Amino acid sequence: MKKRENIVIIVVLIVMVIAIVGVSYAAFSYNREGSINSITTGAITMTYEETNNTISLTGALPTTDKTGMVRLNPGEYFDFSISSEITGDVNINYEISAKKEDGNTIGGEYIKLYLTRLTDDGEEALMVPETYNEESSANDYTGRPVNEMSLYTSSMNSSESNNYRLRMYVDESYNPQGDGGGLTFTVKINVYGKAGDKYVPLTTREILEDNELQEETTNMFNYASNGMYLSGVSDDGQPQYETDESQKTTGLYSMEDEDGVSYYFRGAVDNNNVQFGEYTEDYYVYQGKVGDSRYYQSEASCQGEGNSTCTQVKLASQGDKMYWKIVRVNGDGSLRC
């Protein structure tokens, strides 16, 4: 008798509406559409659950990112969770997105959305606060359609549960003077999921294309990237260093983590910069002496390094773009800067 093999093919998981969230500088409201939504396909179950928390804020005037990002009073944020039960060798790409409703009376260019993940240590930022903007192309990896704002994309290949927190507020650039009040902006928060090859963000793909993968050496973690190591201590207690040319390691390397293959940069690398966000206010540091390449976050820390005088130096102005050094691409495709 010929042996038969049962194969579970998972095509599309979901298109689910988590909630409707509305914002107005006169009133901030949220309407629930059901507490638990679940989808089961083959060996996978994904569940989307809203908490009892509701957003209901009176007098929500335009505010800065600094204030909007940390609001924690009752009614100023919306919590929800995404969990999965997965058996077998299956990968699920999912995406959280926002879609504006009809009838809004304030432009999306004045509305900021900010999403975080709740962890044991607090909140992990998943995006910088961004004004509402819709994607001009669909995401075939997750099933998100065109003309929605992408908030966060990730993958699952094992059973897990994640808790998220959404904040939405009127940006400080909006001037309410003379508009008559009561303007509203409402969005639906959607979650899309699809089985398939793990989604790799465009930024991550570009990094892997632009950097040749290097081979790890046996003892590389016993040395600095320039091959320097501590060889001893002098009679007066000063550390002594030597350099092993064979242990100089600069570039992109890989290793396994709990989510798959991760990539990390080591040494002085020039092409691992990414533009992400902008300065919300002028940014200053302190310098011990003119020409010194070391900067300090505060005058106290500058003086603590033995500098008799510390000069304030302006490094960036409000509105300037922020550039970050990427130090690692995690196994789930996310970036660590």
pLDDT value for 154: 84
**73 and 35 part of one domain:** yes
Tell me the pLDDT tens digit for each residue of 233-292.
888 878 888 888 888 888 888 877 766 778 878 887 877 776 767 787 888 888 887 777
pLDDT value for 60: 62
41-45, 146-150, 158-162 — which is least confidently predicted? Answer: 41-45
**150 and 36 part of one domain:** yes
Residue 78 belongs to some domain of the structure: yes
* pLDDT exceeds 50 at position 83: yes
Tell me the pLDDT tens digit for each residue of 277-286.
778 788 888 8
Number of domains in the chain: 3
* pLDDT exceeds 60 at position 322: yes
Structure tokens at 97: 């997105």
Strand partners, 203: none
pLDDT value for 259: 67
Residue 290 belongs to some domain of the structure: yes
**154 and 241 part of one domain:** no
Task: Tell me the DSSP string of 152-189.
Answer: EEEEESS-EEEEEEEEEEEBTT---TTS-S---EEEEE
**233 and 311 part of one domain:** no
- Percent of the chain whose predicted confidence (pLDDT) is above 90: 8
pLDDT value for 5: 37
Please give the single-letter amino acid code of residue 75.
G
Q: Are 194 and 218 in contact (CB under 8 A)?
A: no
Strand partners, 12: none
**190 and 62 part of one domain:** yes
- Percent of the chain whose predicted confidence (pLDDT) is above 70: 76
Residue 257 belongs to some domain of the structure: no
Which residue blocks in 101-253 are alpha helix, DSSP H? 202-210
Rounded Cα gap, residues 18 and 81, in angstroms: 9
**220 and 192 part of one domain:** no
**99 and 39 part of one domain:** yes
**130 and 176 part of one domain:** yes
Residue 66 belongs to what H/E stretch? Answer: helix 65-68
**85 and 220 part of one domain:** no
Residue 79 belongs to some domain of the structure: yes
pLDDT higher at 113 or 329: 113
**23 and 125 part of one domain:** yes
Tokens 């095509």: give the residue: 11
* pLDDT exceeds 50 at position 128: yes
Q: What is the CA radius of gyration of the chain?
A: 25
Rounded Cα gap, residues 162 and 66, in angstroms: 25
pTM: 0.60
Rounded Cα gap, residues 337 and 207, in angstroms: 13
pLDDT value for 1: 42
Residue 255 belongs to some domain of the structure: no
Residue 241 belongs to what H/E stretch? Answer: strand 239-248
Find the domain containing 292 and state its range: 283-316
**95 and 152 part of one domain:** yes
In degrees, rounded to 5, the angle at the alpha carbon of residue 300 between the alpha carbons of residues 299 and 306 is: 95
Give 145's Cβ-side CA count (13 Å radius). Answer: 6
pLDDT value for 190: 81
**34 and 129 part of one domain:** yes
Residue 26 belongs to some domain of the structure: yes
Tell me the pLDDT tens digit for each residue of 16-60.
444 555 554 433 333 333 333 444 444 445 555 555 444 444 456
Q: Please report, for residues 122, 124, 134, the alpha-carbon distance to residue 321 in angstroms, rounded to integers and kept in the order given.
A: 27, 22, 21
Q: Are 109 and 131 in contact (CB under 8 A)?
A: yes
Residue 6 belongs to some domain of the structure: no
Mean pLDDT score of the chain, rounded to an integer?
A: 75
Residue 229 belongs to some domain of the structure: yes
